[in-house]
Structure 1
Amino acid sequence: MPPRFVVKLPLMEAGHPRSPLRAYLKLARPKQWTKNGFVLAGVIFAEQALQLSSLLAALLAFAAFCALSGAVYAANDALDVEEDRKHPRKRHRPVASGEISVRAALAYAGLLAAGGLALGFSVSWGVGAAGGAYLLLQVAYALWLKHFAILDVMAIAFGFVLRALAGAAAVMAPISPWLIACTGLLALFLGFSKRRYELASLGEGAQSTRRNLADYSVPMLDEMMTVVLAATIMAYSLYTFFAYEGVWMMVSIPFVIYGVFRYMLLVHRDGGDNPDVLLLKDRPLQVTLLLWLAVVMVILYVVR
């Protein structure tokens, strides 16, 4: 019987990119850049979205915050590499899996941060200042704030407020207190829901991936989410009542209510997921967001 020869082909570990370029792109987590959409709120609500110069400035500010947030993600992956290796999903990230070294990830983070700040200041001083404040906040979060329950989520929410401030600065528009309140409350809601997902999905092993999860519990987070959810709906409703003449903006309230309740349903029915992941994979949420945006645009740019 002739000898049998078996050719063994190299297998790629699940979750690994196929090239260094894709590895570095994955390290910047482009799927989470949807959070930077808050930067674009300024140009929309300042009623300048149809002005090419303003739209370009807003898009450049958005790109600057994509670079800045990518820098933060890369640095966090380098600093949290040991904890990430204990996480069932995070262990496949480029640094935790060994695909990119800690030193290379930190150098990449520095490059993205410098590029993001340079781009932000090229748009306006306000955008650059907001970007710098965002980086300082993330340093404080990585070194201190993330270890304290509630403060960690408040820091995340303030990061979203800085995005909204940058968007207003990009088009030289005064920032509305209502925009700050609605952005902060919605971000708190998403932050607490993310902590709930981490607890529910990891169970007893949650503390090994994030130490402050020991201070949370699922029932406690459910109560916090309910309180913040009610405050978010009330703040947005009051915004539509008082920030605009007439009643047309109130038409957008049902879309906000459905959107947050749909998210709540996913959290309790399916266990939820990271907010950016849910937005990318849940079609009703996507449709609701697009309909809300369409209604707001029609009211601001056609009806008024």
Structure 2
Amino acid sequence: MQSSPTAHAASSSVFKLLFLQLRPHQWTKNLLIFAALLFSFESISVATVVDTIIGFFLFSFVAGCVYILNDYMDREADRNHPTKRNRPMASGALNPQLAIAFGTILLLASLVSSYFLNPLFTVLLVIYFIMNVSYSLSLKHIVIIDIMIIAAGFVLRAIAGGLVIHVPFTPWFLICTMLLSLFLAIGKRRHELSLLEAGMGSHRKVLDNYSFALLDQLNSIVTTATIISYSLFTFTSGRTVHLMWTIPLVIYGIFRYLYLIHIEKKGGSPDRVLFEDKHILITAVLYVVSVVCILAFFE
């Protein structure tokens, strides 16, 4: 007995809603997993590329499960929000219990699958999940801690990239990742604060504890530390010193982002800025191409 077109359409709609619930537009953050592969260019192979791609999706699925749990807990409040009310559960289009069941199965399947890549990768995914659930429940309301948790999430992504292909990562690389992540998180809070003062953004409880002066001071410290740390990384990572030629690209990318934050009033979604601002996008592409060429011909 064949299913009716109506039943097939309903099934397709549910699968689409479940996929949207994972917030695939946020997966660009997980591209950091490929950083370890980029800096291990000399040992790249089909196996390492495949493992990194699998690791990317597993990390994205676990992150998606955090979004499912977060939206499940906030669905009543989201219904009164001008934009969040359009989310699958808040809008009533997706059954909350079905979403939770799907998220539970996906989380367990992702953790089991990750074990075959590297058991330490599984441990990292568990830590990431617990940390982000804790962030959603309470840590996002604690000043300073909130931006440090966001930065820690990016550091875990960088470590994950090394674990899935079994390559070591240098302390300088992790420091650079942490500082750059703090830079983006501070910029995000500044953007939210500017929207709040203009009466255009939603009120985050933690924003009451921030000011433009404080965030600008934090950004000055982190920007300086990021540039210095990356410069030291290019000389002390044990790779070719010709990586120093990428320093101007990093400086320009940071300065361009500061311009977007202070002049264009952007920076609320770093993942969107990457694709919407052609200057940032071209700089990122040039950086990747430069690193590959330098490691390929000057190593």
Establish whether TM, by shorter chain, passes 0.5: yes
Q: SS of the counterpart of 1:80?
A: helix
Which one of 262, 281, 290 corresponds to residue 285 of structure 2?
A: 290
Q: SS of the counterpart of 1:19?
A: helix
* Partner residue, 1:108: 102
Aligned pairs (5 A) from 1:37-56: 37-47=31-41, 50-56=44-50
Aligned AA (2:147): V
In structure 1, the gaps of 5 or more residues are: 1-17
Which one of 171, 178, 197 corresponds to residue 177 of structure 1?
A: 171
Aligned AA (1:157): A
* Partner residue, 1:5: none
Distance 1:151 1:31 in 2: 25
Aligned AA (2:86): H
- Cα pair distance change 1:223/1:86, threshold 3 Å: farther
Which one of 123, 148, 153 corresponds to residue 159 of structure 1?
A: 153
User: So what's the TM-score if we normalise by structure 1?
Assistant: 0.87
- Cα pair distance change 1:221/1:95, threshold 3 Å: farther
* Partner residue, 1:136: 130
8 A Cα contact 2:196 2:202, kept in partner: no
Which stretch shows the higher mean deviation, 78-87 or 48-57?
78-87
Q: SS of the counterpart of 2:89?
A: coil
Distance 2:168 2:234 in 1: 17
Distance 2:270 2:23 in 1: 13
Deviation at 1:226, TM superposition (A): 2.0
Deviation at 1:283, TM superposition (A): 1.4
Deviation at 1:248, TM superposition (A): 0.5
* Partner residue, 2:265: 271
User: So what's the TM-score if we normalise by structure 2?
Assistant: 0.89
8 A Cα contact 2:68 2:103, kept in partner: yes
- Cα pair distance change 1:254/1:207, threshold 3 Å: closer
Alignment of 1:301 with 2:296, yes or no, is yes
In structure 2, the gaps of 5 or more residues are: 1-11
8 A Cα contact 2:42 2:296, kept in partner: no
Deviation at 1:205, TM superposition (A): 6.1
Distance 2:271 2:77 in 1: 22
Distance 1:279 1:269 in 2: 17
- Cα pair distance change 1:290/1:218, threshold 3 Å: same
* Partner residue, 1:66: 60
Aligned pairs (5 A) from 1:68-107: 68-107=62-101
Work out the number of aligned pairs and report it. 287
Distance 1:283 1:192 in 2: 22
8 A Cα contact 1:48 1:54, kept in partner: no
* Partner residue, 1:252: 246
Distance 1:84 1:218 in 2: 27
Distance 2:188 2:106 in 1: 26
Deviation at 1:274, TM superposition (A): 0.7
Deviation at 1:20, TM superposition (A): 3.1
Deviation at 1:106, TM superposition (A): 2.3
Deviation at 1:79, TM superposition (A): 1.6
**Alignment deviations for residues 168-211 of structure 1 (CA, whole Å, 9 cap, x no partner):** 11111112101110111111111111112222223376896422
Which one of 183, 187, 190 corresponds to residue 184 of structure 2?
A: 190
Distance 1:234 1:159 in 2: 22
Alignment of 1:229 with 2:223, yes or no, is yes
8 A Cα contact 1:91 1:97, kept in partner: yes
8 A Cα contact 2:32 2:154, kept in partner: yes
Q: SS of the counterpart of 1:138?
A: helix
* Partner residue, 1:10: none
8 A Cα contact 1:43 1:168, kept in partner: yes
Distance 1:19 1:179 in 2: 43
Deviation at 1:122, TM superposition (A): 2.0
Q: SS of the counterpart of 1:261?
A: helix
- Across the aligned residues of Structure 1 and Structure 2, the Cα RMSD in angstroms comes to 2.1
**Alignment deviations for residues 214-262 of structure 1 (CA, whole Å, 9 cap, x no partner):** 1112332222122211111111111012113553100011111111111
Tell me the percent identity.
38
Distance 1:84 1:264 in 2: 31
Distance 1:223 1:247 in 2: 32
